[in-house]
Amino acid sequence: MVRRLVAGLAAIVLVAEAAVLVLVHIVLGRTTANQSMSIAGSDPDVMSKATYAMGAGMGAFLLLCAALAVLAALRDRSPGRFGRIVLIGAAVTHAVLGMLAVGLVGWAAFAALMLILCLLVLILTLYPAAARQGDGGGPVEDAPPPPPFGELKPTSP
C-alpha cells in the first residue's frame, strides 16, 4: 500500500515539477527574445529557441519519469531495466541540482529537490528487485538453499 502511495505521489510531484520548469523556460526564452540579450555575441534568437528546447526536453523527461512512476503504482511492481535507468538518472540529476540550488537559489529550492529525490529513491528501493530473465520475462528459479551448518559434503567424487 505504501509503495503505491509513494509512486503515485512521486508521479504527481514530477508532473508539477515538469509544468513549473516548462513555464520558467518559456518566461526565460521570451525575456531573452524581447530584450535581445546576448552572451559573448551569441544570437538572441538562437538563445531563446535553445531555452524553449531545453524546457521542452526537461519537461518531457520529467513526464516520462512520472509515467514510469504511474506504471509502477498501477502494476505494484518494480520498474523494468529501462525504467530503473531513467529513474536513477532523474535521481542523480535532482541530487546535483540540489547541491547547486543551495548556493544559487536557497534552502527552499534545496528542500524541494531533496523531497523529489527521496520520492525517486523510494520508488527504486521499496519495490523488491525482481529477478528477470534476459528478455524481461518471468522470474528466474532460485538456487537451492545451502546445506545445514553441521552437514559436510565431499568436494570431489
The pLDDT tens digits of the residues spanning 135-150 come to 454 555 666 666 666 6
What mean pLDDT is predicted for residues 6-11? 94
DSSP state of 130: -
CB neighbours of residue 20 within 10 Å: 13
User: Is 114 buried (19+), middle (13-18) or exposed (0-12) by CB count in 10 A?
Assistant: middle
**Is residue 42 helix, strand or coil?**
coil
What letter represents residue 81's amino acid? R
Half-sphere exposure of 155 (CA within 13 A, CB side): 0
What per-residue confidence (pLDDT) applies to 39? 75
Can you tell me the mean pLDDT for 84-99? 95
Spatial contact of 132 and 95, defined as CB atoms under 8 Å apart: no
Mean predicted confidence (pLDDT) in 110-138? 77
Average pLDDT, stretch 12-34? 94
Mean pLDDT, the chain, whole residue set: 86
Separation of alpha carbons 47 and 37, rounded Å: 8
- What would the grid cell of residue 3 be? 509503495
Name which of 89, 82, 78 is nearest 125 in CA terms.
78
According to the model, what pLDDT value does residue 133 have? 42
Percent residues over pLDDT 90 in the chain:
63
pLDDT of 123 higher than 80: yes
CB 69 within 8 A of CB 81: no
* Burial class of residue 107 in the structure, from the number of CB atoms within 10 Å of its CB (0-12 exposed, 13-18 middle, 19+ buried): exposed
Alpha-carbon gap, residue 2 to 75, rounded angstroms: 13
pTM of the full structure: 0.77
| DSSP, res 148 | P
